[in-house]
Amino acid sequence: MRLDLATWPEVEAYLGRSGGIVVPAGSTEQHGPMGLIGTDTICAERVATAAADLAGAMVAPTLAYTPAPFNMAFPGTISVSESLFEKLVTEILGGLASHGFDRFYFLNGHGANLAPLARVSAEFREERGTRIRIRSWWDFETVNALRREYYGEWEGMHATPSEVAITQATGRIVPPGDAASPPERLPPGYVERHAGDRHGPPAEHRRRFPDGRVGSHSALAAPEHGTSLLRAAAAAVAEDYARLMAEQGAALD
Ligand code: NI
């Protein structure tokens, strides 16, 4: 059930049986020549909503304005500071907690959200004794098996064919254009070294990755891949959410 499409009596009734809520977190940033600006937001929201349907969970409106400073040299990117994002998330969790929500499952679609979400969650758990879990939709083995099978090394790091495929499954398919040919290959270890989107300043990042793809061959995406990735991610998240709901005591993982 989507919180934004629920009425308050429906939310009150839900809280009578569950204190859990899924909070999707995306971004508003460039995703290469054929990836939509809202790619991360669309992926997080679609996976979270499908998982929540499977698990009978409530899902909050998606956090779409998040930190993406390294992509600010590409038109369309909107980046907010980590400190503002952390304050916003703190107040959102506070608002939800005041109504009785006490288990939060962040379903993430953007690497740069992970560190701020972890900081906020650690503080919140400390103060309120809640259970909080943070997962990205690509964290699950069933999802990774598909990513490897479809794209191998060409999954890369940004404007990945898997995230583009999930957006394609929602209906909009942008022809590859300049992204028809593969991007420059990333040096070994690049993805690990830059995990969590640790990239350089905007101008340098655009010079290094001129069309916005970071080692990802977006044009390998296909809508039917997107449907399968979405289904695998939603099933994995629904199972993991059920585990979170079954666990006792305060925790963050
Ligand atoms: Ni992305």
The predicted-structure confidence for 14-73, as pLDDT tens digits, reads as follows 999 999 999 999 999 999 999 999 999 999 999 999 999 999 999 999 999 999 999 999
Environment of ion ligand 1 (residues, CB < 5 A): 39-40, 163
**Counting beta carbons within 10 angstroms of the beta carbon of residue 159, is it exposed (0 to 12), middle (13 to 18) or buried (19 or more)?**
buried
Per domain, the residue ranges of the chain are 3-246
Tell me what pLDDT residue 196 has.
82
Question: CB neighbours (10 Å) of residue 85?
Answer: 21
Q: Where are the beta strands (DSSP E) in the chain?
A: 20-25, 58-59, 103-108, 131-136, 251-252
Q: What is the DSSP letter of 152?
A: G
- Token pair belonging to 154: 């060409």
Residue segments in the chain with a per-residue pLDDT below the cut of 50: none
- For residue 97, report the distance from its CA to the centre of ligand 1, in Å: 29
Q: What does the alpha-carbon distance between residue 28 and residue 118 come to, in Å, rounded to a whole number? A: 20
Q: Quick check: 70 and 205 in contact, CB under 8 A?
A: yes
- For residue 197, report the distance from its CA to the centre of ligand 1, in Å: 10
- For residue 159, report the distance from its CA to the centre of ligand 1, in Å: 6
Q: Quick check: 179 and 211 in contact, CB under 8 A?
A: yes
Q: What is the DSSP letter of 74?
A: S
Tell me what pLDDT residue 171 has.
82
Tell me what pLDDT residue 250 has.
65
- For residue 155, report the distance from its CA to the centre of ligand 1, in Å: 12
The hierarchical CATH code for the domain 3-246 is 3.40.50.10310
Sign of CA dihedral 28, 31, 37, 43: negative
- For residue 187, report the distance from its CA to the centre of ligand 1, in Å: 20
Q: What is the pTM of this model?
A: 0.95
Q: CA 156: distance to chain centroid?
A: 16
- For residue 93, report the distance from its CA to the centre of ligand 1, in Å: 24
Pairing of strands 103-108, 20-25: parallel
Q: Nearest 5°: CA angle at 188, between 210 and 197?
A: 55
Q: Which residues pair with 158 in a beta bridge?
A: 214, 215
- For residue 160, report the distance from its CA to the centre of ligand 1, in Å: 7
* Cβ neighbours for 226, distance < 8 A, ≥ 6 positions apart: 162, 164, 165, 166, 167, 168, 169, 170
- For residue 2, report the distance from its CA to the centre of ligand 1, in Å: 23
